[in-house]
Every structure is written in C-alpha cells, then in structure tokens.
Amino acid sequence: MGRRQGEARLGQREGGAESGQLPADEGGLLSRAFLALCLISFLNGVFTAPFVSLFPVYVEADLGEIPLFTAYLRSLTLILGGIFALVGGRLCELFGLKTTLLIGMAGSVVTGFVFQASSFWVLTGLLVGMGMAAGPWSAAGQSYLIASAGARRLGLGGALYFLSMTMGHSLGSLATGSVKDSWSFQQLGAAMVGATATVFVLGLILLPSGARARPSAGRAGLALWSSYWPLLHRRRVRLLVLLRLSITGFWGMASLLLPLLVFRVSGSPSTAAYYGGVSLAVASACQLLTGTLRDRCGRFWPLMVSGAGIAVSALCVGVFAHSLPGLFVFGTALTGTAWAVSTVIPGLIDEVAGPEEKSRVVGLLHMIWSAAMVSGSLAGGYLVELDPRLPFFIGAVMAVTGTTCGLLLCRHLDRKKNPPPSR
C-alpha cells in the first residue's frame, strides 16, 4: 500500500498537480525513482558510447565521406530531437514520466544498427528514428530528475544524474578503444543492439510507475502552441534560452570536431576513442564538483567560473589545434567546463518554471539545445575545412555571450526572491 501511495504521489508531481516538491519520504537522492533513473542513464551511456565516440570516424574511415556529411546526419537527428522534445514535454504531463522515458529509451536500441548501414537512405532512416526518440528521452529524464531529487539537493542530484551519463559514456568509450582494433564496426553495432535492448527491459522493471498526470487546465491534447508560446513572454525564460543557445551552439562545433581533430593528428581511431574516454572522465569530476558547490554556495559562481572556463579552453584549443597533447589537455578542459554548465541547468529550470510548467520548460530548453547543436555542427563541419582553429576562436566569443546571459539571469532571479523595500 505504501509503495502504491508513493507512486501515486510521484504521478501527481509529474503532472504538476501539487507543489514543486516531492514528499520527504518519496523524494531525495536515495529514493527509488532517483536511483533507478541514474542506473538506467549510466547503462544507456555505456552501451551507446561507441556511437558518440566513433560515428564521425566511421563515416570518414569506413564510408569515405567528408565531415559535412557527418554534420548533416547529426543535424537531422538533432532537429527531430528538438521538435520531439516539445512533444515529450507535453507527454510527460499527459501520460507520466515513465511512459515518456521508455519511448525515449526505445531509440537507443536503434543506435547499434547505424554501424551496420552504409546506404545514405538507410542511415537517414535510422537517424530519423533516433532523433524522434531523443526528445522524449531528454524531456522525461530531466523532468524525472527535478521530480525526484528535490530543490535543495538539485545541484548534487543534477551532477549525479549527468555524471551517470558521462561516466557511462566514458567507460563505454574506454572499452570501445580497447576492442576496436580487433572488432569491426559491424560487430560493435551488433553488441550494442543486444545491450541496449537489455537496458530497456531493466527500465521497464525498475523505474517506478506514477499515476497518469492531469492535463493543464484549458489545454486538451498536445496543444503545443498554447502550451509553449506564453513561456517565451517571460524575461527569465528568454535569458535561459539565450544562455543555452550560445554555449550549446559552440559545444555543437566542439563535440563534432575534437574527436575528428584527434583522429587527424594521430591517425588512429583508437586514440580518438581513448580521448573521448579521458575527457568524459574528467568531465565527470567537474560535474560532481559543480553540483556540490551549487548546493553549498548557490548557482552564481559555479555558473560564472564554468562559463569563463569554456571561453579560455576554446582559445587554447584554437592555438594548439595541430598538437595532440594540446588537444588532449585543452579539449578535455573544454569538455569538463561545458558539462559543468549543464549541471547547473536543471536548478535554473526549477527556479525559472512554475510548478505546472517544469516538463514544458525542459522540453523547450531541449529544443533550443537541439537547434544550437544543429547550427554548431553545420558551422563546425564547414569552418574546419577552412581553418581548424577558426571554430574555437568563434566559440570563445559565444561562451562569453552565454556567460553574460547567465549573469543577467542570476541577477533577475535574485531580485525576484529579494525585491527592494518599498518606500
């Protein structure tokens, strides 16, 4: 009985029917919902890591295509992921977080088939399916995080959630580097399909089910326009959107180009995979530190230091774009600071959004994230052929812009909490 009552309360939280907090006995970092979410996220990261680390290498080395072709395929996935994040945000409210999350997890099973395909149309079809599932995965995952961790522990909770994904990708990349020389891309893809299908079944069993959420008043069905358009009339939402757009736009360039530059300088796919593992391991430590500092000192300094770190790292990568040690050191620093900023985002969403809006704001932010990744990937694929340093010098300017938006947002939120005394 107690378990069913707890799951019903989680379902109410999913729909925003109650306040923004879970009851103390159901939420928190040791709750079943939070622990199951982190475990599933970790395992999904492990078994999709070969795609993250080696897809650009597979396209160039096995298919003989240029980086702009990789950028096109990634852009297709990201565009659909952004569109379906808006759908996912509403599905969270209408059908609950677990159902929406499982829809997203189904897309991970498709990932391994990418390494089996060489046809333009087959690759396009697979990435369409992955993109459609990526939106619900992100919207439901971060909404689940906000629902289960609790506002006072959302810094460390967000760090642990993103850490589970980062460590999963890191360990998966390291494992991929150790077996890639003896495994073909096709063998790697077959193993990925079986492993991700197993993770889906575990999610079905382990994630707690909530009661069906109540739709927001006056909105039948998805009603995407009337659900999302009013959010953009708020200054704090616009500042959060600009923060996400500028920093993620640069990360779209960097995440595409860094493993590719490592491959070009070293001439080894395994070295590119090892770089992915090392950089994400360091990023994991950065996330944990940032989340802990956010809970103890507030959001301002972790956000400002991380944003400045992205700008400085970008400049250094530009200077050492033809040096393997330089790419490892400063590319790793760039990855760590970029993921540190992402750790602060769930707490900002919790402060910016009202109790019944959090899933929609998560969906909106993921749509912005996808648009930024698309534009960044396309720009990076083009600019790297002109000069490999150019994307990183431009990215430093974008990081400064995003950090400035974060500064203005923090000041705006502080004024809302502590308004000046009336005269």
CA distance 380 to 389: 10
Please determine, for residue 13, whether its predicted confidence score (pLDDT) is greater than 50: no
CA distance 223 to 91: 11
Please determine, for residue 312, whether its predicted confidence score (pLDDT) is greater than 60: yes
Structure confidence by residue, pLDDT tens digits, 180-194? 777 888 888 888 999
SS3 readout for 292-347: HHHHHHCCHHHHHHHHHHHHHHHHHHHHCCCCHHHHHHHHHHHHHHHHHHHHHHHH
Domains of the chain with bracketed CATH: 31-211+228-415 (1.20.1250.20)
**Cα angle for residues 28, 33, 37 (degrees, 5° grid):** 110
- The pTM (predicted TM-score) of the whole model is 0.76
Q: For residue 248, what pLDDT band results from cuts at 50, 70 and 90?
A: very high
Please determine, for residue 221, whether its predicted confidence score (pLDDT) is greater than 80: no
**Is the CB of residue 287 less than 8 Å from the CB of residue 159?**
yes
Please determine, for residue 420, whether its predicted confidence score (pLDDT) is greater than 80: no
